[in-house]
Homo-oligomer: A and B are copies of this chain.
Amino acid sequence: MNKPLVLVVEDDKPVRNLITLTLDSQGYRYQSAETGNAAILASVSHQPDLMILDLGLPDMDGLEVIKKTRSWSNMPIIIVSSRSDDTDKIAALDAGADDYLTKPFSVDELLARLRVALRRLQYMRDFSPADEAVFTNGRLRVDYAAGCTYIDDEELHLTPVEYKLLCLMARNVGKVLTHNCFIKEVWQNTLPEDTPSLRVYMATLRKKVEIPLGQKLIQTHVGIGYRMLRLTGDKVISE
């Protein structure tokens, strides 16, 4: 998980600031909401990794927020509340919250409990049925979950860059991708005027993929970029 996104739901500004500043200093990304409705909206649209939720919100009870969120998500929810009563804690936990801290709380403890939740989340993601997503195009097959590429049932050995390029084109079959698009995706944020290696990689990819396939797969668009052709079943003789 690269910089987890935490949704902070808290109407009291000083407390909210305390939390968000702390999160920021620890390298987390965050987003905040002051009301229950805003929280639900934000959690649906931004899909945060975790929610820190105050129970006393102006527009609706925190319990409602938990229940609504749980109707579609299993994201960890950590309650931070001034209600220290047992019944409140139990109600929140049973409604689907993962942890409950009573105000005033220690920032360090909050961080520790946040780490616990994220650790578990990571574990669940690692072990949950990884996207069985497999891309197929003619006899070419890319197994994203396994990180492997096949032609028929022969495995292709691709270097990381080659694999990334192929995936990028696979996820956009039929579309022309510009040079900049490739460079941005594969070489992240390096200098934009560097295309010579892209050509080299295309050459090796073609050698590795088109030769065993026996047909053209990567099409050049002069002055623009490249695209992967959509292959039909067995043999295609195009162009």
Contacts and interface: CB of A to CB of B under 8 A. Distances in A.
A200 interface: no
Interface in A172-227: 174-176, 181, 184-185, 188-189, 221-224, 227
B108 A86 contact: yes
A181 B122 CA distance: 9
A60 interface: no
- Counting chain A residues whose Cβ lies within 8 A of the other chain, the interface size class is 35 or more
Given A90-B109, A227-B146, A181 B126 contact: yes
A163 to B, nearest CB: 8
A238 interface: no
A122 B98 CA distance: 14
Contacts of A90: 108-109, 111-112
Interface stretch (A4-12, A13-21, A127-135): A127-135
A37 B147 CA distance: 42
A189 B224 CA distance: 20
Contacts of A224: 147, 160
Interface string A75-115: 00000000000100110011001110000001011011101
A98 B127 contact: no
21 contacts: A86-B106, A89-B109, A90-B108, A90-B109, A90-B111, A93-B115, A93-B116, A94-B115, A123-B185, A124-B124, A126-B181, A126-B185, A128-B128, A129-B129, A146-B175, A146-B176, A147-B176, A147-B221, A148-B174, A159-B222, A160-B222
